[in-house]
Amino acid sequence: MARPRIRSLFATSTLLLGSTLGVSAPDDDERPHMRIDLCESDCDGAVTALRESGEHVRFAATVVIGDAVYESAGVRLDAAASDPEDGTLAWEVRLDKWVAGASRDGTSALRAVT
């Protein structure tokens, strides 16, 4: 069986419940970057489900913030902030969805725009 293709998405902005988390794109040297590594088929499936039915599909991904790696974080597209037609994808990220207690600086819920 072939290994799934992994797609890495870099956040251009990240919000925590409406507040700035201090995470930015990787070209900003002063703050840590955020990257979401996910299976290409999961990403494509989430975009298709959002386009066709408005359904929110949640799946596991690896989230990297600075030097910290969060395995099995729960991610799903945020329909209100995403526009798949122009390539803007906003992701709701739950660091603690499948790993109890996972958080960054006491925060487990993030929104990342890629």
pLDDT, tens only, 21-71: 444 444 445 445 788 888 888 888 888 888 888 888 888 999 888 888 999
One-character DSSP codes across 13-58: EEEETTEE-S-B-TT-TTS-BEEEEEEHHHHHHHHHHHHHH-----
Structural domain span for residue 71: 6-113
pLDDT in tens, 31-44: 457 888 888 888 88
Domain-located, residue 62: yes
Domain-located, residue 14: yes
Q: Of residues 76 and 1, which shows the higher confidence score?
A: 76
- How many structural domains is the chain composed of? 1
Helix (H) or strand (E) holding 61: strand 59-65
Domain-located, residue 1: no
* pTM confidence score: 0.75
